[in-house]
Structure 1
Amino acid sequence: METLLKARTVLFDEVGGPDVLRLTELDIGEPGAGQVRVRIDAIGLNRGEALLRAGSYYYDAVLPDSRLGNEAAGVIEAAGPGVIGFEIGDTVSIVAKPTDEGMSAHGVYADRVLVGAHRLLHRPAHIDAITGAAVWTSAFTAYGALVEVGRVRAGDTVVVTAASSSVGMAALQIARHLGATPIAVTRTGEKADRLRSAGAEHVIASADGDVAERIRALTDGKGARIIFDGIAGPGLPDLARAVAPDGIFLVYGSLDTRTTPLPMWWPINIYGYAVFHVYADSERACRAETFIANGLRNGALTPVIDRTFDLTEIVEAHRYLESNQQAGKIVVTVQH
Structure 2
Amino acid sequence: MFDEIGGPDVLHLVEEAVVEPAPDEVRVRIEAFAVNPLDQMIRAGQSPRPVQLPHARLGVEGTGVIDAVGSGVTGLAVGDPVLLAAIPDFETRGAYAEYTTVLASRVVPRPAGLDVPEAAALWVAYFTAYGALVEKAGMRPGDHVLITAASGGVGRAAIQIANQIGAVPIAVTRSSAKVQSLLDAGAAAVIATDREDVAEATRRLTGGAGADLILDAVMGPGLADLSLAAKLGGQLIAVGWLDPRPASFPANPSLTIRRFMGFADMVDPVIVRRVAAFLAAGVRSGVLRPTVDRVFTLDDIVEAHHYLEKGTPTGKIVVTV
Q: Which of residues 64, 69, 88 in structure 2 aligns to 1:74?
A: 64
1:291, CA displacement in angstroms?
A: 0.8
8 A Cα contact 2:228 2:252, kept in partner? no
**Normalising to structure 2: TM-score of the pair?**
0.96
Q: Percent identity?
A: 46
Contact 2:111–2:280 (8 Å) recurs in 1: no
Is residue 58 from structure 1 mapped to residue 70 from structure 2 by the alignment?
A: no
Unmatched segments (≥5 aa) in structure 1: 1-10
- 1:316 alignment partner, SS class: helix
Residues 16, 55 of structure 1: 8 Å contact kept = yes
Match of 1:232 among 219, 229, 232: 219
CA distance in 2, matches of 1:133, 1:253: 20
Q: Which residue of 1 aligns with 2:262?
A: 275
Contact 2:217 2:238 in 1 (8 A): yes
Distance 1:279 1:112 in 2: 21
Residue 118 in 1 paired to residue 102 in 2?
no
SS in 1 for 2:278: helix
Asked if the contact 1:278/1:288 (under 8 Å) is kept, the reply is no
Question: SS at the partner of 1:141?
Answer: helix
Judging changes above 3 Å, is the alpha-carbon distance between structure 1 residues 265 and 131 closer, same or farther for their aligned structure 2 residues? closer
Runs of 4+ in 1 over 6 A off after TM superposition: none
Moved more, 208-217 or 50-59: 208-217
Instruction: Give 1:285 shift.
Output: 2.4
Q: Which residue in the other structure is 1:206 paired with? A: 193
Rate the CA distance shift 1:264–1:205 in 2: closer, same or farther, 3 A: closer
- 8 Å CA contact 1:140–1:278 kept in 2: the answer is no
Establish whether residue 127 from structure 1 lines up as the match of residue 117 from structure 2: no
- The residue number in structure 2 matching 1:32 is 22
Of residues 167, 180, 184, the one that matches 2:154 is 167
Report the Cα distance in structure 1 between the residues aligned to 2:25 and 2:117, rounded to whole angstroms.
23
1:186 is the counterpart of 2:173 = yes
Task: Write the distance in 1 (CA, Å) between the matches of 2:208 and 2:112.
Answer: 47
Q: Secondary structure at the match of 1:254?
A: coil
Assess if the C-alpha contact under 8 Å between 1:28 and 1:114 holds in 2: no
Structure 1 equivalent of residue 207 of structure 2? 220
RMSD: 1.5
Q: 5+ residue gaps in structure 2?
A: none
Number of the residue aligned with 1:4: none
Q: Which amino acid in structure 2 is aligned with residue 224 of structure 1?
A: A
| DSSP 3-state at the match of 2:258 | strand
Give me the whole-angstrom Cα distance separating, in 1, the residues matched to 2:96 and 2:195.
Answer: 38
The question of 1:94 aligning with 2:84 is answered yes
